A and B are shown apart, each in its own frame.
Chain A
Amino acid sequence: MEFFSFGNIIIYIDKFIKFINSIFFVILIIGISFALIISPVDYLQGDSVRIMYVHVPSAWIGLSIFSLIAVSTILNFIFKIKNLFLFIKSFAPIGLLFTCLSIVTGSIWGKPTWGTWWAWDARLTSMLVLMLFYVLFILSLKYFKNNENLTKILSIISILGIINIPIIKYSVEWWSTLHQPASIKFLGTSSIHPSMLIPLFLMLLVLLLYCALIFLMKYKTEIIKIKKQNIKRL
C-alpha cells in the first residue's frame, strides 16, 4: 500500500504531466490536420461530418467518466478509500465539460443535418439528464461538508445516474429518434470507413490526453490541500 502513498503518487503525477506536455501539441496538430484537412467529405452530409471528430469523442468521454465516478463513489461508500474520493472530485468537472461539449456540438451538427438545433428525442434528452446528474454531483461536492452525508448523497446520485447510461446507449434502438444509430461497434463490424475512423480515434486520443492532464493537475491540487491542512502536524 506504500506505493499508493501521496508521496509516491505526486512523483508519478509530475512525471506524467511532463510526459503529456511533451507529446500533446504534436498529437493535437496531427489530430486536427486529419479531422479538418485529410479526412474525406461525407457523400450525404458534406463537410459538416467533420463535427463528428469533436462531438463523438466528447460524448464517449462524458459517458465513460460518469460510469467511472459512479462506480468509484459506490466503492468509496462501501470501503471508505480516501484516494477514491480525490479521484471522484478530480474527474467530475472534466466529465461535465465533455458532456456539455457533446450536447453543444451535437446541437450545432443538428442544424445543417436535421434542420433544427434541438429536439426532445430520447438520445438528446437522456444526454441532458446526464448533464444534470453531473451538475448535482458537483454541487453536492461543493456544498456538503459532512463526509458521511456527502458519501450517501453521491452514492444515490451515482446509482440513479448509472441507470441513465444504458438508456443513453440504447435510446437510438429502443425509440424512434432523430439521432442516427451507432456507426462504431466495439464488438462487431463498424459501418464507418477507416479514412474517417483514424481521425476519430486520433481526436479521441487528443482529448483523452487532455483529460489525463487536467485530472493529474486537479488530483495534485487536492493532495496539496490535504497536506496544507495538516502542515502543523508535520
Chain B
Amino acid sequence: MITEFLKMGGYGIYVWSSFFIVITSCAFLFYKTRKTLKKYEKEFAKELEKLPAEHKKRIAKSSKVISSILASQNKLS
C-alpha cells in the first residue's frame, strides 16, 4: 500500500519532486531570512551595549523597537 502511494500511479517522480522542490526552497528562504533577522538583532543589541547604562535604560523605555529587540535577545541568551 505504501509502495502504491509512493508510486502515485507511475507519476511519483513528478509529484514528489514538485513537492520536494517547493518545501525545500521555502525552508531555505525561511532559514536565510531568520538568520539575517537574528544577525541584525544581535548587532543592534551589541551597539546598544556600547551606550552608557543610563542612556540605554532611557531609550529602552522610550523606544518600542529597542525594547522589542532587547526582549528577543534576552530570550535567545
- Listed in ascending order, the chain A residues whose CB lies under 8 Å from chain B are 6-8, 10-11, 14, 32, 35-37, 41, 46-48, 50-51, 54-55, 58, 93-94, 97, 100-101, 104-105, 108-109, 111-112, 207, 210, 213-214, 217-218, 220-221, 223-225, 227-228, 231, 234
Contact = CB atoms under 8 A, between A and B. Distances in A.
Main secondary structure of the interface of B (DSSP, over half): helix
Nearest to B60: A234
Contacts of B22: 54, 58, 101, 105
Interface in B22-46: 22, 25-26, 29-30, 33-34, 36-37, 40-41, 43-44
Nearest to B71: A14
Ranked 5 nearest A-B pairs via Cβ: A7-B64, A47-B8, A48-B11, A47-B9, A224-B40
A9 to B, nearest CB: 9
A97 B26 contact: yes
A104 B65 contact: no
Nearest to B28: A97
A51 B44 contact: no
A210 B48 CA distance: 32
Nearest to A206: B26
Tell me what chain A mostly uses at the interface: helix, strand, loop, or mixed: helix
A184 B51 CA distance: 58
Contact of B65 (A7, A58, A108, A112): A7
Given A7-B63, A46-B10, A227-B66, A218 B18 contact: no
Nearest to B40: A224
Contacts of A231: 44, 47-48, 51
Contacts of B17: 108
Contacts of A221: 33, 36-37, 40
8 contacts: A50-B8, A55-B18, A105-B21, A105-B22, A108-B17, A218-B37, A221-B33, A224-B37
A210 B65 contact: no
A48 B15 contact: yes
A54 B18 contact: yes
A51 B14 contact: yes
Contact of A227 (B9, B12, B44, B72): B44
A70 B12 CA distance: 38
B65 A223 contact: yes
B9 A224 contact: no
A50 B64 contact: no
B14 A108 contact: yes
Contacts of B10: 46-47
B14 A109 contact: yes
Contacts of A11: 64, 68
